[in-house]
Chains A and B, each alone.
Chain A
């Protein structure tokens, strides 16, 4: 019945089967130290999934009665998602050994949530979208609270669960309103129905439905009026979980948002909403991060700010806007992988405060310069990758007449330089002298690769531009 379809989703099928087999392996082999073994095998299955995905014979298709879609856009997003998941698994290998984490289930849950994010990227129906989001969120709630003996982790899990469930409820209400007023759930059908309204006469209730869906999604990507949970959850969860939270779901949810808002519900209603949310995210991200002393909290606010920058691309609604959004997303992910690999390698008891970085330039000069470069890139100092991403975003904003947003972006980017450069100041001019243990080979590899990408992106940016342009083209037409 679905013969071709099963071939087309072979990567997902493989990943689910692999995680189930790993679950059985982990539970039957009753060793406490199985987690590292499982993590390596999980990494292997992610890589095999990536190979299956890249070499998939079926690249453009609508599957399972239009419930899933495969095209250029999903192809690159999935590739990027799998790569970032692989790097997260690589960077947490050492963490398990040093922090005495024995719960191998967290790796299995990472694999399951990766699978659900793959489905989320290619979701082409409101129901598929919602189910994929829920599967991902359920896995996340569990791994956020996975460190049972830490009160912070439990609190983070609880907060994440309550607010995540609330946002899912809002999203679901928006979906049901949309279904109630149009009678369809498929993205393509929705797009056809939305086309029949010109920009001014969208029925009011449809606008309410779009509003609810947008709010649900903004909750999930921690955009500003709905960002309350992010700092607590990021700080409370174990560090490798924080790394996973701030890297992988951003790709999947933004891909899905692009699909639904740019393709199906193209309408000026949400543009104003994203305009407000983007401006507010940039401002809050810049101002709130200044008074933070804890590193993970600061990174949470920094990611809120970056989501604000990324949302600029949304507000444009043009081809350039979407392409620059994708560029910014990819570069943001790259930088975040780098920062979290660095933070996971700075381990001496508990590394919590920024002040603990003092004297790093003398105890570990290479790591200090890596972190400094990444921070400069976060701040948007030319000629690093972060500068290019912000530059193209502001360029796109100016091109579509959003001068105010570009202005706010530039100003907040200057303000946020303050706390990014504070890292550098602490590392190079302060003396706290905490000696950290040397990092393992995997993390140093990740750090090296991402640092090279950040440093030398400006020399040869055309592949990423071509890819993102292709993705944006696929989405808009």
Chain B
């Protein structure tokens, strides 16, 4: 039941943001012409088309994020129940973290984290 205020809050914020956007639409003057609609490239015309090679590092960072995000989801219940699961539970998680750390060291040495 405690999710109801959050849902209400979501709806209210949606409405509020819609109002803010639509007010500027209502009162601002919007005359558009081709010069104004052209892409901004520091005052010059675009030199070539917008197709450019995508850097693999963005993928690497996002994959790393997914992996360590999952790690955190495993850590939450462990952290909450640490008083009940005793040393065995503690060491189980340490082993899990160790395996993840090995993966992290692998990435580090492979240079997946270098941003040069």
Contacts and interface: CB of A to CB of B under 8 A. Distances in A.
A27 B88 contact: no
Interface in A1-16: 1
Contacts of A24: 102, 105-106
A23 B106 CA distance: 8
B85 to A, nearest CB: 11
What is the predominant secondary structure among interface residues of chain B facing chain A? helix
A28 B105 CA distance: 10
Contacts of B110: 27
A27 B110 CA distance: 7
A1 B88 CA distance: 8
A20 interface: yes
Nearest to A16: B99
A165 to B, nearest CB: 16
Interface in B65-116: 88, 99, 102, 105-106, 109-110
Contacts of A28: 109
Contacts of B106: 23-24, 27
Nearest to A20: B102
A453 to B, nearest CB: 38
A1 B90 CA distance: 13
Contacts, number: 13
Nearest to A29: B109
Nearest to A1: B88
A430 B22 CA distance: 81
A442 B88 CA distance: 45
Nearest to B108: A27
B113 to A, nearest CB: 13
Nearest to A105: B106
B1 to A, nearest CB: 28
A28 B102 CA distance: 12
B88 A23 contact: no
Interface size class of A (residues with CB under 8 A): under 10
Given A27-B105, A27-B106, A27-B109, A20 B88 contact: no
A27 B105 CA distance: 9
B84 to A, nearest CB: 14
Contacts of A23: 102, 106
Nearest to A23: B106
A27 B88 CA distance: 31
Nearest to B110: A27
Nearest to B86: A1
Nearest to B109: A27
Contacts of B105: 24, 27
A300 to B, nearest CB: 31
Contacts of B99: 20
Contacts of A27: 105-106, 109-110
A59 B105 CA distance: 36
A1 B109 CA distance: 37
B88, B109, B110 — which one has the most chain A CB atoms within 10 A of its CB? B109
Contacts of B109: 27-28
B96 to A, nearest CB: 12
A175 B102 CA distance: 32
A112 to B, nearest CB: 11
B75 to A, nearest CB: 19
Contacts of A1: 88
A5 to B, nearest CB: 12
- From B88, B106, B110, residue with most partner A Cβ within 10 Å: B106
B74 to A, nearest CB: 14
Contacts of B102: 20, 23-24
A24 B110 CA distance: 11
A27 B102 CA distance: 11
A12 to B, nearest CB: 14
A2 to B, nearest CB: 9
Contacts of B88: 1
A123 to B, nearest CB: 20
Nearest to B88: A1
Interface in A423-442: none
A387 B99 CA distance: 47
B98 to A, nearest CB: 9
A20 B109 CA distance: 14
A288 to B, nearest CB: 38
A20 B88 CA distance: 22
13 contacts: A1-B88, A20-B99, A20-B102, A23-B102, A23-B106, A24-B102, A24-B105, A24-B106, A27-B105, A27-B106, A27-B109, A27-B110, A28-B109
Interface of B: 88, 99, 102, 105-106, 109-110
Chain A to chain B: the 4 pairs with minimum beta-carbon distance, closest first: A27-B109, A27-B106, A1-B88, A20-B102
Given A20-B102, A23-B102, 6 more contacts: A1-B88, A23-B106, A24-B105, A27-B106, A27-B109, A28-B109
